[in-house]
Amino acid sequence: MTLIALAISVAYIYSSAVVFGLEGKYFFWELATLIDVMLLGHWFEMKSVLSASRALEKLAQLMPDTAHLIKGSDTTEVKISELKKGNKILVKAGEKIPADGLVVKGSSYIDESMLTGESKPVHKKENDKVIGGSVNGDGILEVKVEETGEESYLNKVIDLVKEAQSSKSKTQRLADKAASWLTLIAVTVGVATLVYWYTYGLDLAFAIERMATVMVITCPHALGLAIPLVTAVSTSLSAKNGLLIRNRTAFENARKITTLVFDKTGTLTEGKFGVSQVTIIDKNYDEKKIIQFAASLETNSEHPIAKGIMKRAEELKIKTMPVSDFGVIKGQGIKGKIEGKNIFLVSQAYIRKNNFKLQEEIKVNHSETMVYALFDSKIIGIISLSDKIREESYEAVQQLKKLNIKCWMLTGDNSRIAKEVANTLHLDGYFAEILPHEKQEKIKELQNKDQFVAMTGDGINDAPALAQANVGIAIGSGTDVAAETADIILVNSNPLDVTKLILFGKATYQKMIQNLFWATGYNVLAIPLAAGVLFSYGIIISPAIGAALMSLSTIVVAVNAQFLSIDKERD
């Protein structure tokens, strides 16, 4: 706006001086026309900008205004701001769910597409989590409120979108620098144009008109908005499709990825372990006792293996026992005291490291994970758990290879299981029996081979590797969007979303380059014409036409940003 203000001020002051006696001609009519065209163009421009920046408004509209609060046998309609943690609410068929919570009664199919990008309705039953803002299907649900206000999933997403839109990537900073330089160039060329035409041209009025046209037509509106508009559109689209961007530069750099490293459990596999077998080593113990020891140690753990053991304990109707002196053996298991005795639940790596030997050879299914139960430093049993490869993993790896991206796997599981999964999915390589603190080193190894590495993990024990990677992707976070070390969070545990992310990152970057090309290319042609280089051929641009062209360039940039589509890129 500096250039426009300068051009209008000079034209007005000169015309006013002519009114008060200066020799020359005034051009108030041209000035008024210029201002009218500028305002009209600005209105169109702002309309395009606002339509591109309504991501937060659209997300906020997903939440309903009221909820049906259950009080005893009665229900009362209340504002959602009045809901508190622990309240029970009734969600009728077709209604939006007013808060994050746990289903305590009923079952239904929930449409979460506007929040997570999951196109198919998700079946929810008792003890399943539901997200505020998602739409209930035909069933009736009673939900216990768990998160409200700032703690809710939707508010966390809105905060992330707000943060992503306000943050600047390297591309944006480049555009800002270019806009600053363009302003300086415009002032310099404008003054030079004034001097040239006043010295060699017709009169002072003509020289001022040429200078004003140069300044108006060079106004870097389009250049200044080229990146923010694409940022606004891409951020809102990605949030609706379950891709939450925390680092804009990393998102744009997704196009550079040459190697993608997957965590195994819960990413390439379902992460739902089930106990397939309990091998008794010490005949003084049976399956129930070994599972009881294991379940007692795993009571408060959220690890997939722990969930598998706890599920088996529930099936056998086993009660857990009190545990004292609980501790974690980093990356290798857990320990504690039960009835005064030391109980360990450890991996195969721990057994090998400490030179434990089995008296008899154990038949091993290479697709199973084995957990060893130790009682006072003596192996009493082996719990075998199995985990299935996700159906989506096959297609995800194929798509990534089509993009010439190498696929690796990083896991703490034993090498036999890792090899079987890697061979089944046709991965380029794998690292097995890796402790959490060693994962970072493996990422460095790949980077030292001139690879641009993306790491996908759960954002907890993979934190060092996610931070080390060029692009850190937290996958399978569900409604937990607080993965601090990740650049991008994928709401769904679907490896295909990684492919979607890379393709959308490429498409977003292409839109930015297109906008920058238009915004700068337009000025290369416009500045000489505005200065009057073709005046001798009868071609001249008035300030009003210059204003129209400047506004048009901004509108083109805004409309081009709107054509960005995540679904189109995915298809």
- Residue 468 belongs to a domain with what CATH number? 3.40.50.1000
Query: According to the model, what pLDDT value does residue 132 have?
Result: 85
Do 285 and 412 reside in the same domain of the chain?
no
Dump pLDDT digits (tens) for 305-334.
888 898 889 888 888 899 888 888 877 888
Give 16-45 as a DSSP string.
Answer: HHHHTT-SS---HHHHHHHHHHHHHHHHHH
CA proximity to 410, closest of 261, 259, 257: 261
CA proximity to 466, closest of 449, 450, 442: 442
Do 559 and 471 reside in the same domain of the chain?
no
Which residues have CB under 8 Å from 243's CB, separation 6+?
117, 488, 489, 490, 491, 497, 500, 501, 504, 566
Do 342 and 478 reside in the same domain of the chain?
no
Helix residue ranges per DSSP H, 67-220: 113-116, 153-166, 170-200, 204-217
Measured CA distances, 65 to 132, 133, 338, 561 (Å): 11, 10, 51, 32
CA proximity to 217, closest of 562, 561, 540: 540
Query: According to the model, what pLDDT value does residue 568 have?
Result: 46
Mean per-residue pLDDT, 157-181: 69
Integer Cα distance of 114 and 96 in angstroms: 12
Which of 491, 525, 545 terminates a domain? The answer is: 491
Cβ–Cβ < 8 Å for 447, 470: yes
Which residues have CB under 8 Å from 346's CB, separation 6+?
329, 332, 333, 334, 335, 371, 372, 374
Dump pLDDT digits (tens) for 522-549.
777 888 888 888 888 888 887 778 777 8
**Does residue 64 sit within a domain?**
no
**Does residue 327 sit within a domain?**
yes
Do 325 and 407 reside in the same domain of the chain?
no
Query: According to the model, what pLDDT value does residue 56 have?
Result: 57
- Give me the number of domains the chain comprises: 4
Which of 462, 491, 520 terminates a domain? The answer is: 491
Do 279 and 264 reside in the same domain of the chain?
no
Do 261 and 400 reside in the same domain of the chain?
yes
Cβ–Cβ < 8 Å for 59, 47: no
Integer Cα distance of 139 and 160 in angstroms: 32
Which of 445, 461, 491 terminates a domain? The answer is: 491
Residue in 36, 138, 263, 286 annotated catalytic: 263
Integer Cα distance of 529 and 507 in angstroms: 33
**Does residue 444 sit within a domain?**
yes
**Does residue 470 sit within a domain?**
yes
Instruction: Please give the model's pTM, rounded to 2 decimal places.
Output: 0.65
Which residues have CB under 8 Å from 330's CB, separation 6+?
435, 436, 437
Mean per-residue pLDDT, 166-184: 72
Beta bridge partners of 124: 108
Query: According to the model, what pLDDT value does residue 571 have?
Result: 42
Dump pLDDT digits (tens) for 340-384.
888 999 888 888 888 887 755 565 555 678 889 998 888 888 988
What burial letters (b/e) apply to 237-267, b meaning 16+ CB within 10 Å? Answer: bbbbbbbbbbbbebbbbbbebbbbbbbbbbb
Query: According to the model, what pLDDT value does residue 482 have?
Result: 45
Do 250 and 213 reside in the same domain of the chain?
no
Integer Cα distance of 333 and 134 in angstroms: 38
Query: According to the model, what pLDDT value does residue 448 have?
Result: 92
Which residues have CB under 8 Å from 184's CB, separation 6+?
none
The encoded tokens of residue 274 equal 């089930």
Give the Cβ contact number of residue 205 at 10 Å. 19
Do 382 and 425 reside in the same domain of the chain?
no
pLDDT top residue among 35 and 397: 397
Mean pLDDT for the chain?
80
pLDDT top residue among 302 and 512: 512
The confidence band for 50, taking pLDDT boundaries of 50, 70 and 90, is low
Q: What is the DSSP letter of 377?
A: T
Dump pLDDT digits (tens) for 413-447.
778 888 888 998 999 999 888 876 788 889 999 99
Please indicate whether residue 263 is annotated as part of the active site. Answer: yes
Do 51 and 27 reside in the same domain of the chain?
yes
**Does residue 224 sit within a domain?**
yes
The domain containing residue 127 runs over which residues?
84-147
Do 341 and 291 reside in the same domain of the chain?
yes
**Does residue 404 sit within a domain?**
yes
**Does residue 70 sit within a domain?**
no
**Does residue 76 sit within a domain?**
no
The encoded tokens of residue 320 equal 């857990």
What is the CATH number for 116?
2.70.150.10
Which residues have CB under 8 Å from 233's CB, separation 6+?
52, 55, 561, 562, 564
Do 101 and 18 reside in the same domain of the chain?
no
User: Which span out of 180-184, 221-225, 514-518 was modeled with the highest average pLDDT?
Assistant: 514-518
The encoded tokens of residue 27 equal 């051009």
Do 393 and 373 reside in the same domain of the chain?
no
